[in-house]
Amino acid sequence: MLFSGVIFDFNGTLFWDTKLHNKAWDIFLTRHNLHLSDEDKFQKLHGKNNRDIFQSIFNGMLSDGEIRDYILEKELLYQELCLQTNMPLAPGAPEFLDFLKNNNIPFTIATASGKENVDFYFEHLPLTRWFEYDKIVYNNGKIKGKPDPQIYQIALSIIGKKPGEVIIFEDAVAGLQAAKNAQAGKIIVVDSNDDDYRDWSDYQIIKNFDEVDRMQFAL
């Protein structure tokens, strides 16, 4: 089967920042006398939007104002950690993005990140080489969090494709389930953090975008 569109998750997929998010969460959780293991983070945090995460770890006892304050606190920690690195995109990602662009294959990003991080990425990463900001789907406070398929359904409408025509790239369990719920034509797992994908072993798992078969696209 040939595919004619692509949707990317961002964190842990195009930008391998899982360890930085985990470190930021560790700092935040320690400040607030909380603890989560790396396995807890993989299952409960990765791929989900911040509002759902904070309501979960604080047992649903937060006001909207408290959630906003906690989001900014944690994401500023994360951004400071990012700036201590050279912030490379995923292995093989620039070449794959060039391939899609050069062959007029529509693609976009659907991320659980909020505007504060999307703005940060566009400032510090060369995303304008491939992406238009106003076509990025991100957590705007109105979109249902993954594993709900809504974020991918919106991305499909932006690139003008039906689910079966598209490959979705994801790393988080919640995101993979969202892609499955969106009935994507193909799902490719991006293993950026040596996580446990035993429940997704029937799907292609990659560690480099060079592994993506270019012949599966309708050129």
Output the pTM of the full model: 0.90
Q: Which DSSP state fits 200?
A: G
Is 148 strand, coil or helix? coil
Q: Which DSSP state fits 217?
A: B
Q: What is the pLDDT along the chain (219 residues), one digit of tens a residue?
A: 899 999 999 999 999 999 999 899 999 999 999 888 877 776 767 667 778 888 888 877 788 899 889 999 999 999 999 999 999 999 999 999 999 999 999 999 999 999 999 999 999 999 999 999 999 999 998 999 899 999 999 999 999 999 999 999 999 999 999 999 999 999 999 999 998 899 999 999 999 999 999 999 998
Is 32 strand, coil or helix? coil
Q: Which two tokens stand for residue 161?
A: 């494709």
| Domains present along the chain, CATH in parentheses | 5-16+89-216 (3.40.50.1000), 18-82 (1.10.150)
Per-residue confidence (pLDDT) for residue 24, from 0 to 100: 94
Per-residue confidence (pLDDT) for residue 58, from 0 to 100: 83
Q: How far is the C-alpha of 171 from the C-alpha of 157, rounded, in Å?
A: 22
Per-residue confidence (pLDDT) for residue 127, from 0 to 100: 98
Per-residue confidence (pLDDT) for residue 47, from 0 to 100: 66
CA 180 to chain centre: 15
Per-residue confidence (pLDDT) for residue 67, from 0 to 100: 87
Q: Which two tokens stand for residue 159?
A: 């690139």
Contact 66, 179 (CB under 8 A): no
